[in-house]
Structure 1
Amino acid sequence: MTQYVTHGLLRAADRGRDAGEEGRCVLHLDMDAYFASVEQRDVPLYRGRPLVVCHTSSDFCTHGVVATASYEARCWGVKAGMSVWEARSRCPHACFVHADIPKYLDNARRIRRLCERLSHRVEVFSIDEVFVDLTPLLRPCPPGEERWREALRVGRELKGEIRRRLGLTASVGIGPNKLVAKMASEFQKPDGLTLVTPEQLPDILAPLPVDRLVGVGERMRRHLRAMGVETVGDLARTPVELLEWKFGVMGRLLWEAAHGRDGSPVRAGGEEQEVKSFGHSLSLRGGTRDLEYLENTLLGLCDAVTRRMRREGYLGRTVALRLRVGYALGYARARSLDEYTDLTSPVYAAARDLLRREASSGLWTEPVTTVGVSVSQLRRREEGRQVTIWDIMDNREERLTAALDALRDRYGEGVVTRASLLGDFALSGMNLAR
């Protein structure tokens, strides 16, 4: 299952609270062990046996990564993201097969069409997950218990249609917003149907371990545990100011999530997506602990990000540093600026401070293998920004930046380079990941 991305989900939490969520009803559909279930449906030999679907270039699945494991294989500790070698050592009697992505995409399209019979607002979140906004469909029902009963009936019928037409099972969660619906779909897997109403939220969320909350990974769980936060209820009772001081923007997002708040809309396919952020990252072959090298790399990334922002006419306020240490999962740290900007200097200063803070934390047990930076909390440049005395200084950099952009537009990116980057071959004309 694709990990839920909290920034996109929770950014509109305050707007959602102001608008009122009591009239909304969102369904989240999560296919059960999707790739493996499709293979077990199509090949009777695989049914009832441990099955591991692999992303691999090996003809015999001797190496690569586990894409999905059937529930029979999960009983042996096999899970998505694990190396095929480890999966074989844990469950040597399992069947190992190549992922057939075109087949899975075809089934996903058929699932989406079934969902679109219920609502014009269907958001494909991943190949095996869909959000459906049931609010228009349920509007004729009186608000309250009767409306939620009708939502359960709709969810039950959708599950039945998928089983009859495709021979697959799905877990469905229903709630007042995407966040709650997503969490509800995980409560009774596989083949579950769970409703969480606004009235039930405090009682259901509070006792859950904090890592059941979307957005809390292993690293964040350790930090929260050090603060005495073990459950979602503990997190909800923690002063938001403390969380913001400790974790920056992410602290408020987690606090909102702990209260079950989410105002993000269900976006139909083809609907214009609002630009949320600009970012670049760079993989460092072999990794490095050299702080000066990392800072120079970060400067090049900030230069590239802000150039894109200027080209597309955006100002931003929140700077996020993204790191991967060794071969562990990546993580991010964020900081908000005092003013909106599209200039390199303030973005780099914030990102560099975050980098230095991480470097001094003592948590880098292995070399940094990926570094990235992104800018979010965007607004269009034509909306303007508040003028302060510091704009007298900023105008000098704006004129210099405009001149540099003009040179690069005419003669190419490598025609002019910051002096501190001249020695870094990795940053000269680098092909950056967005």
Structure 2
Amino acid sequence: MSEQLFSLHSWPRAIVHIDGDAFFTSCEEAIHPELRGKPLITGGERGIVACASYAAKKIGVARGVPLHEARKICPGLIILPSDYETYSLFSRRIFSIMRRFTPDVEEYSIDEAFADITGMRRALHSSYEEIALRMKQDIERELGITVSVGLSITKVLAKVASKHQKPAGMTVIKGREIPDYLRNLPVEKIWGIGNATTNYLAKMGIRYALEFARLPEKTVLQKFTKPGVEIWQELRGKSVHPVTAEEKSSYASISKTKTFAPPTNDAEYLFAQLMRNMESACIKARRYKLAPHKI
């Protein structure tokens, strides 16, 4: 099937995705430069690894594992309690820097955001690539942390791009280049595709993002629900998830989920992930000055 099914226009839209690299430990390293390059984790107060520095990851320390297991992997591991108040300050600074380039910034999580820079080339006297790079450079210079940046024509593709050269990389996926980046990308790496959809696609003989994106529209509409159809559209270069700059002022509920691939019945690991999800939900609740009535 022809790859010309994808967008033939380089920039029908220009969406930037900024993703902090090992964000919590990067913040600690920015505050304490003597820790840079050392195996470091946060989460000591909870007994689990909330975030591992890249030096710790290289040794084999993974996010979510119990501390006693992390110590076995790396006896010299530096363990710090999580300082969410400080991490939130860094987060707000990131979003503030991004808004220098466009008002259309969507705060996706404490260490992630999208920015719609469509139409800003003339105003900023720069190409879209230059705008995204300046955004990255300003964040890294002013905050002393590194971020990975993806620039593409939809939110899903921008997120694919930001993961492509982690850490501290920048990847640009223009409309005409979409097939090159999807060809060897496993479907489970696509934002929004969980374990159930991955297994469903596997039964259809689909393992890679390009295979999914090449499916005929009729097949997609018959076999997938609305979220799956929208991911398919975004992978093909059609923007259906706009950057939402307007923050919600209140929430009826706050939830954080985790899909396990493969499934696990390891009670200790499940508890560690539960604690991590609860912490993430609490960070968001504190930001909006909310308190739970029911958990």
CA RMSD, aligned part only? 3.6
Rounded Cα–Cα distance in structure 2 between residues aligned with 1:364 and 1:164: 41
Report the Cα offset of residue 220 of structure 1. Answer: 3.3
- Name the count of aligned residue pairs: 262
What SS is found at the alignment partner of 2:241? coil
Would you say 1:329 and 2:259 are equivalent positions?
A: yes
Gapped runs of 5+ residues in structure 2? Answer: 1-5, 267-292
Which structure has more relative contact order (CA 8 Å, sep 6+)? It is 2
Deviations 1:366-422, CA, capped at 9 Å, x for gaps:
9xxxxxxxxxxxxxxxxxxxxxxxxxxxxxxxxxxxxxxxxxxxxxxxxxxxxxxxx
Residues 1:39 and 2:39 are matched in the alignment: no
Cα separation, 2, equivalents of 1:123 and 1:103: 21
Counterpart amino acid of 1:124? E
- Name the residue aligned to 2:138: 161
| C-alpha contact 1:50 1:93 (8 A) present in aligned 2 | yes
2:108 paired residue number? 125
SS in 1 for 2:233: helix
Question: What is the 5 A alignment of 1:125-204?
Answer: 125-138=108-121, 150-204=127-181
User: What is the distance in 1 between the residues matched to 2:180 and 2:83?
Assistant: 42
What residue number does 1:95 align with? 78
Per-residue deviation, 1:124 = 0.9
* 1:55 to 1:260, Cα distance in 2 relative to 1, 3 A: farther
With over 3 angstroms needed to count, the CA separation of the structure-2 counterparts of 1:364 and 1:242, relative to structure 1, is farther
- For normalisation by structure 1, the TM-score amounts to 0.53
Structure 2 CA distance for partners of 1:257 and 1:432, relative to 1, 3 Å: farther
Report matched runs for 1:30-429 at 5 Å: 30-54=19-43, 56-57=45-46, 63=47, 65-138=48-121, 150-239=127-216, 242=219, 248-270=225-247, 329=259
TM-score, with normalisation over the residues of structure 2? 0.75
What SS does structure 2 have at the residue aligned with 1:37?
helix
Instruction: Answer yes or no: is the 8 Å Cα contact 1:124–1:269 preserved in 2.
Output: no
Q: CA-to-partner distance for each residue in 1:267-301, whole Å, 9 max, x for gaps?
A: 2244679x9xx9899xxxxxxxxxxxxxxxxxxxx
- State the alpha-carbon separation in 1 of the partners of residues 237 and 60 from structure 2: 31
Partner Cα distance (2:120, 2:248) in 1: 20
1:23 aligns with 2:17: no
Q: What residue in structure 2 maps to residue 353 of structure 1?
A: none
1:146-182 CA-to-partner distances (Å, cap 9, x unmatched) read x9x7111112222221222111111111111222111
Structure 1 unaligned residues grouped into runs of 5+:
1-16, 58-62, 142-146, 282-323, 332-362, 367-430
Change (3 A) 1:230 1:330: closer
- Alignment partners' CA distance in 2, 1:108 and 1:280: 19
Letter in 1 for 2:85: P
Q: Using the alignment, how far apart are the partners of 2:100 and 2:254 within structure 1?
A: 39
Give the conservation status (yes or no) of the 8 Å contact 2:157–2:235: no
Query: How many Å apart are 1:29 and its aligned residue?
Result: 1.0
Secondary structure of 1:23's aligned partner: coil
Larger radius of gyration: 1
Residues 26 and 135 in structure 1, CA contact (< 8 A), matched pair in contact too:
yes
Task: Give the SS at the match of 2:62.
Answer: coil
For 2:229, the aligned partner's letter is R
- Aligned letter for 2:13? R
1:137 deviation in Å?
1.6
Task: Give identity over the alignment, percent.
Answer: 33
- Distance change (3 Å), C-alpha of 1:365 and 1:27: closer
Aligned 8 A contact 1:121 1:267 in 2: yes
- Relative distance call for 1:123 and 1:132 in structure 2 (3 A) is same
1:56 partner amino acid: E
SS of corresponding position for 2:145: coil
Q: Secondary structure, in 3 states, of the residue corresponding to 1:186?
A: helix
Cα distance in structure 2, aligned partners of 1:255 and 1:280: 27
